[in-house]
Amino acid sequence: MLDSVLIANRGEIACRIIRSARKLGMRTIAVHSEADSKALFVEMADEAHPIGKAPATESYLVVDKIIEVAKTSSAACIHPGYGFLSERAEFGEACEANGIVFVGPPASAIRAMGLKDAAKALASQAGVPIVPGYHGSRQEPDFLRQKAYEIGYPVLIKAVAGGGGKGMRRVDKAAEFEAALESAQREAASAFGDPRVLVEKYVLSPRHIEIQVFADKHGNVVHLFERDCSLQRRHQKVIEEAPAPGMTAQMRAAMGKAAVEAARAVGYVSAGTIEFIADGREGLRPDRFYFMEMNTRLQVEHPVTEAITGLDLVELQFRIAAGERLPFGQHELRMDGHAVEARLYAEDPEKGFLPSTGKLWALRFPDGEAIRIDTGVKEGDWVTPFYDPMIAKVIAHGATRDEALDKLSDALGKTAVAGPKTNLAFLKGLCDAPEFRAGRFDTGFIDANLGALGAVEQRLDAAAVAAGAARLHQRLVSEAFDVVHRTQGNLSDPWNDEDGFQLLGERRVGVPLLVNGARLETLVGFEAGEMIVHVPDFGFSTRAALDWSGDYRRLLAPDLDAELIDGDGAVFVLRHGRQTHVARFDPFAVDLEHIDEGGTVKAPMHGKLIAVFVQPGDRVAKGQRLAILEAMKMEHALVAPAAGAVVEVAVEPGAQVAEGARLIVVQPDDA
């Protein structure tokens, strides 16, 4: 067995690799950017080495820096994880040139399967069915538009290099093709350094099903059954499961055979995934699935395969890299039960899944039988704009699909995250959705059910506001008593303005708040030993018990099924998976210079402005695209808040902008 490993990655996959390496007695070596100097994976590793600034292009994507650390630390091998350099053939070659074992496939296999057009040609030669489309080298926009017309809409534009949904756009009509092509090419160039695309027929009612393959250096290739990854948003997987609902033994055998043949065709070694698209209009049929691509690395969703097979795929990768044979044949592999994985992201489903950043003031996961949490962060860490916004993967295993989904839903309900907005409530809603539970879904399920899943703007949670107001007033009362106690030694000042005391009836004190950044008035009163919180705009009131015995700071929050987390000078109220940020309104903190900014377009988060489509004097319609911001590996369109005239463009394309930065100003027509 290899005695040491350098992990050329970060976050939860780095932590995951370290755990398996330790089990094998290997010394673990981490590399990290400046932003990750105190990250969990850095703490877990036996040793850690800095390799550059926060942007991945200056750290995790710099081959020479990683190889240099591997040499100076005497690493026997390098595990690339997934993402970053994991599918760069030149990285594998650099390892080999320096006498370091690369824990993955040979560079020739990465190169052969790294470009979708070449991969499809190889798969077709191996007898694997492929989706109809144009997979050639010509990239002129007019030519590709003509090919799309010949294929017939809807079509899918896909980056030739890379994966993960980047550089991928569905186009439903010819009028949308040009903008979609430009966006796909731009995103592909940014993510993979290669703007080339292919155009394919979009399969209606598609199911995304992939086969996990493993191969050793002795010519043995097996598959570890399938995973269903059809629950996607913008081609990014959200919930994955194994085995696939509705899968028949006949189709599993056909897909498994096709996957093994595709792996053999490129002389594959180590873990890999063959991804297929299946036409699910009439259920899963062995004559209606098509090769999409091969991921020449470990997959994010590998834990569900581990759960149903009982195998440690990372350990298996290490053993194969060390020259061992696969310890089993295809006939010896069995599936045990069902497993489901949900990807918990720092993003706001109510704001178009916009990535969210900030400090994790609270992060707690449940303990439970057959529940697994893979995470790369801990409470107190920061979610930065530099990397993928994943917080954790929550995995559940059960004897049946229903049992696994029940366990996952329960685990999500017991998970607490405060700070950045998350998709926690959305994931639970998705997990409990009746149509998904019944197995009636495809890759368009999420987009077709955004409202039902809570992924649209929601009404403010008045109960959460009341709970936050109670906690803030509790602080104020406690601070007032602290002052009285220090100066007078008297804890029973009936004339204190802030405790709301009066002899008859309820006395109310106005408590102006900022709730999720917007001003809201609340009233707090006291009567018969209780605090009463009113939210007039919502016609909502609730009571909180007071207890002045013992510790005078004790004030029980309203019984609203809410968890209150102090932080950031405010309160994060967690209720039913949603987060409400409640702070006291400070009139002296108002920015009078920019108080009227109804037509201002600001950066929703830190990122790079990669395109601006307007200039001062242009007229725009409400919702029209004004610019593109790239953040956390994805493009985000910035649109006009109202119809009007552009009066200012404050930044140039290529500029790095901070969250909240003023970018473009539109003078609304009705102003």
* Mean pLDDT on 386-400: 95
* Mean pLDDT on 526-548: 77
* Mean pLDDT on 386-391: 91
pLDDT surpasses 70 at 593: no
CATH top-level class for 205-336? alpha beta
pLDDT surpasses 70 at 545: no
Three-point CA angle 578, 580, 582, nearest 5°: 165
The pLDDT of residue 531: 77
Residue 165 · residue 236 · CB < 8 Å: yes
Q: Of 101-110, 196-205, 329-338, where does mean pLDDT reach its minimum?
A: 196-205
* Mean pLDDT on 450-462: 92
Residue 263 · residue 220 · CB < 8 Å: no
pLDDT surpasses 90 at 396: yes
**Model confidence at 509, in pLDDT bands (50, 70, 90)?**
confident
The pLDDT of residue 26: 98
The pLDDT of residue 34: 96
pLDDT in tens, 208-234: 999 999 999 999 999 999 999 999 998
Instruction: Spell out the domain ranges in the chain.
Output: 4-103, 132-201, 205-336, 340-439, 462-588, 592-668
pLDDT surpasses 60 at 133: yes
Closest to 604 (Cα-Cα) out of 583, 586, 629: 629
- Is 132-201 in the same CATH topology as 4-103? no
**Model confidence at 124, in pLDDT bands (50, 70, 90)?**
confident
Bridge partner list, 578: 575
pLDDT surpasses 90 at 587: no
pLDDT in tens, 266-323: 999 999 999 999 988 878 888 888 988 899 999 999 999 999 999 999 999 999 999 9
Residue numbers annotated as active site: 297
**Which comes out higher in pLDDT, residue 640 or 302?**
302
Residue 198: strand, helix, or coil: strand
pLDDT surpasses 70 at 588: no
Q: What is the mean pLDDT of the chain?
A: 88
CA pair distance 227, 240, nearest whole angstrom: 7
CATH of domain 462-588: 3.30.700
Residue 169: strand, helix, or coil: strand
Tell the CATH superfamily of the 132-201 domain: ATP-grasp fold, A domain (3.30.1490.20)
The pLDDT of residue 597: 59
Percent of the chain residues topping a pLDDT of 90: 60
pLDDT in tens, 481-505: 454 445 544 444 444 444 445 555 6
- Sign of the Cα pseudo-torsion (29, 35, 38, 44, in order): negative
DSSP letter at 264 equals H
The pLDDT of residue 501: 52
Residue found by looking up tokens 């969990």 in the block:
40
Q: How many helices (H) and strands (E) would you count in the chain? A: 16, 38
Which CA distances in Å does 60 have to 66, 79, 426, 491? 8, 13, 31, 57
The pLDDT of residue 2: 96
The pLDDT of residue 505: 60
The pLDDT of residue 552: 33
Residue 422 · residue 397 · CB < 8 Å: no
The pLDDT of residue 45: 98
Closest to 231 (Cα-Cα) out of 398, 408, 78, 491: 408
pLDDT in tens, 14-36: 999 999 999 999 999 999 999 99
**Model confidence at 437, in pLDDT bands (50, 70, 90)?**
very high
**Model confidence at 109, in pLDDT bands (50, 70, 90)?**
very high
**Model confidence at 478, in pLDDT bands (50, 70, 90)?**
low
CA pair distance 227, 275, nearest whole angstrom: 9
Half-sphere exposure (Cβ direction) of 310: Cα atoms closer than 13 Å? 7
Query: What topology is assigned to 340-439 in CATH?
Result: D-amino Acid Aminotransferase; Chain A, domain 1 (3.30.470)
The pLDDT of residue 292: 86
The pLDDT of residue 341: 98
DSSP letter at 121 equals H
- When the candidates are 3.40.50.20, 3.30.470.10, 3.40.50.10490, 3.40.50.2300, the CATH number that belongs to 4-103 is 3.40.50.20
* Mean pLDDT on 391-414: 97
| Angle at which helices 249-265 and 116-125 cross, to 10° | 110
Residue 424: strand, helix, or coil: helix
pTM flag (> 0.95): no
The pLDDT of residue 595: 46
pLDDT surpasses 90 at 405: yes
Query: Before 243, cis peptide (omega within 30)?
Result: yes
The pLDDT of residue 548: 47
CATH of domain 592-668: 2.40.50.100
Closest to 294 (Cα-Cα) out of 345, 221, 241, 231: 221
* Mean pLDDT on 249-258: 94
The pLDDT of residue 559: 59
The pLDDT of residue 105: 96
pLDDT surpasses 60 at 547: no
**Model confidence at 546, in pLDDT bands (50, 70, 90)?**
low
Which segments within 465-569 are labelled E, that is strand?
507-515, 518-527, 530-535, 540-545, 563-567
